Structure 1
Amino acid sequence: MNDHEQKIMVLRKAFQMFDTKKCGYIETMKIGTILNTMGQLFDEVELNSLITKNDPDKTGRVNFDGFCDIATHFLEEDDAESTQQELKEAFRLYDKEGNGYITTGTLKEILRALDEKLTGRELDGIIAEIDTDGSGTVDFDEFMEMMTGD
């Protein structure tokens, strides 16, 4: 998977997190917040002109393509390796014993931290998708797959 595809995956996750009604649109006023969340610096004026370009009718919302167009404008070129490195570090943080896996309980905490609006049932659904063998644990590969969608 190339850098571009990986970026799109990260953006899709961010988009889905903020598209709480699952309507396929997010409010343009949230884009700044999303960029901040991703640790991305941006120029307010530049952001507003990109929003205007992607929302010419001033509906106050954009679809995923529009969001991508705006966000990729600001995303630094960082390689897939550094993303994997960051994920590895995040994983290690939770895999305190260094067993090479984390429990699905721990994963729930991570997911809940990412999005407080997730219900218990939604979390269980996500976990079931990731922990395909039902082992109650998630290894690094499964974790990577969940975070990057490979």
Structure 2
Amino acid sequence: MNTMTAKIETMDEEQSNMLRRAFSMFDSGKSGHIEKEKVRTILNTLGHTFDDLELNALLEEQDKEGIGKLNFDSFCRVAVHFLEEDDEVMQKELKEAFRLYDKEGHGYIPTSSLREILAALDDQLTPDQLDEMIAEIDTDGSGTVDFDEFMEMMTGD
């Protein structure tokens, strides 16, 4: 199984539905195909960053006949490439944020640091909401949060 197939199989239902809706919106004639150029627009609309050369290469690979159109499966194979990339980038950013607060490298941070991170991410949160979120994460009441708990909270996985 190549990595592209593996990525498509790990795509969750939410991502799949989102791609299906985006594809349908741009497949105005309901032909089951969209123009290759529209993939760029869809990725932009969904807020995914991509390298133009990389995207062009993927589009060419999926449009072997050179008709300038992609069916839904081909579109998914291109789009999933960038969905996965975002997850990796986000994980790296979260790891960096965690490391900033885990200066000694213990693998956990105090809940007071977590409160700072959450408040910085969303300045609309009230102190009560922050307490609630922290209580949910720090289920054992240890006053600390390890990286896995932190990741789970931030990504919902």
TM-score, with length taken from structure 2 = 0.49
Greater RCO (Cα-Cα under 8 Å, separation 6 or more): 1
1:74 aligns to what SS in structure 2? coil
2:109 aligns to what SS in structure 1? strand
State the shift of 1:4 in Å. 5.2
Q: Out of 134, 139, 151, which is 1:144 matched to?
A: 151
1:99 — aligned with what? 106
Matched residue count: 91
Distance (Å, rounded) in 2 between the aligned partners of 1:111 and 1:81: 21
1:102 aligns to what SS in structure 2? strand
Amino acid at match of 1:137: T
Amino acid at match of 1:122: Q
Is 1:74 aligned with 2:47?
yes
State the shift of 1:133 in Å. 0.9
Deviation track 1:7-54 (CA, whole Å, cap 9, x = no partner) reads 96xxxxxxxxxxxxxxxxxxxxxxxxxxxxxxxxxxxxxxxxx9xx8x
Q: Give 1:5-84 correspondences, 5 Å limit.
A: 5=12, 73-76=46-49, 77=82, 78-84=85-91
State the shift of 1:142 in Å. 0.3
Is 1:118 aligned with 2:125?
yes
1:99 aligns to what SS in structure 2? coil
Distance (Å, rounded) in 1 between the aligned partners of 2:90 and 2:106: 22
Percent identity, please.
62
Q: Is the 8 A contact 1:3 1:80 kept in 2?
A: no
**CA distance change for structure 1 residues 118 and 89 in 2, over 3 Å: closer, same or farther?**
same
| Rg comparison, structure with higher value | 2
Distance (Å, rounded) in 1 between the aligned partners of 2:87 and 2:144: 25
**CA distance change for structure 1 residues 120 and 79 in 2, over 3 Å: closer, same or farther?**
closer
Structure 1: runs of 5+ lacking an equivalent: 9-49, 54-68
State the shift of 1:70 in Å. 8.8
Structure 2: runs of 5+ lacking an equivalent: 1-6, 16-21, 26-41, 50-81
